[in-house]
Amino acid sequence: MASHKSREPTLTEQARRAQLIDVTTRVIAEHGYAGASLSRIAGAAGITKAAVLYHFRSKDAVVRAAYEHALADLVDHVGGAVEAAGVEEAPAAYVRSMVEYLRDHPHHTRVVVEALSDDGGERHPRERWGPLADLMRAARRARGLRTDLDLRTAALVVGGGIDAIIAEHLDHPDYDPVAAAELLVSMLHRVLLSEHG
């Protein structure tokens, strides 16, 4: 058997898994989650279904691996940008870096967003914009402003704006998502600086 016995993974094993994650990401980007069948993934990789299932124990495992790979990349990028920015500018950095990342990695985009929306159906409904809300709360605190404003909703709205900008960019490639993100950031700052919270 393959990596079943907790053996160290072979070279070809690693290569195949990486390749399969890559082609699966592309297939999902092109045909959506629903259109990402096992045979389509196998065909795109130039092997048979059985070979795919030799390296992953189920189709779902392949898709999940592709999703986690893309998500890890995104989290890494956004996380880096947020850390590099000061506390007060962290929310803006979050918005900008996320939009930039998804503009630069159109493949990853669909995997991530469809995984978060379709979600398989029974996943834990993680607070998707919770981290952004936390950054916003910290930024307001650093500015000496009250934090009893409804930041959950504010983060939700900003997050929805990010999604919308990305979606627009996806089917209108000439639409500039970074320029749009700047407008969103300006709206974000107005919320962030408002006194009436």
Partner DNA sequence: CCTTCTCCTAACCGATCGGTTAATAATTTA
Partner DNA sequence: TAAATTATTAACCGATCGGTTAGGAGAAGG
Q: In terms of CB distance, is 47 or 170 closer to a copy of itself? A: 170
Under rule CB under 7 A, residue 10 binds DNA: yes
State the CB neighbour count (10 A cutoff) for residue 16: 20
Stretch of 39-47, 65-73, 117-125, 162-170 contacting DNA, by CB under 7 A? 39-47
> Which of 191, 80, 76, 78 shows the shortest CA–CA distance to 137?
191
Residue 108 CB, shortest distance to DNA, in Å, is: 20
Tokens of 99: 């939009």
Q: Are 29 and 115 in contact (CB under 8 A)?
A: no
Binding site partner of 59, from DNA, a copy of itself, none, Cβ cut-off 5-8 A by kind: DNA
Under rule CB under 8 A, residue 90 binds a copy of itself: no
Stretch of 57-65, 70-78, 104-112, 150-158 contacting a copy of itself, by CB under 8 A? 150-158
Gap between the Cα atoms of 55 and 73, Å rounded? 22
Q: Are 55 and 103 in contact (CB under 8 A)?
A: no
Residues 6+ apart with CB under 8 A from 104: none
Under rule CB under 7 A, residue 87 binds DNA: no
Binding site partner of 183, from a copy of itself, DNA, none, Cβ cut-off 5-8 A by kind: a copy of itself
Under rule CB under 7 A, residue 55 binds DNA: yes
Gap between the Cα atoms of 40 and 6, Å rounded? 29
Residues 6+ apart with CB under 8 A from 147: 137, 140, 141, 197
Q: Are 178 and 101 in contact (CB under 8 A)?
A: no
Query: Residue count at the site for DNA (CB under 7 A)?
Result: 27
The residues binding DNA (CB under 7 A) are 1-3, 7, 10-13, 16, 36-40, 46-51, 53-55, 57-60
Q: Which residues bind a copy of itself (CB under 8 A)?
A: 32, 34, 117-118, 121, 125, 129, 150, 153-154, 156-165, 167-168, 171-172, 179-180, 183-184, 187, 190-191
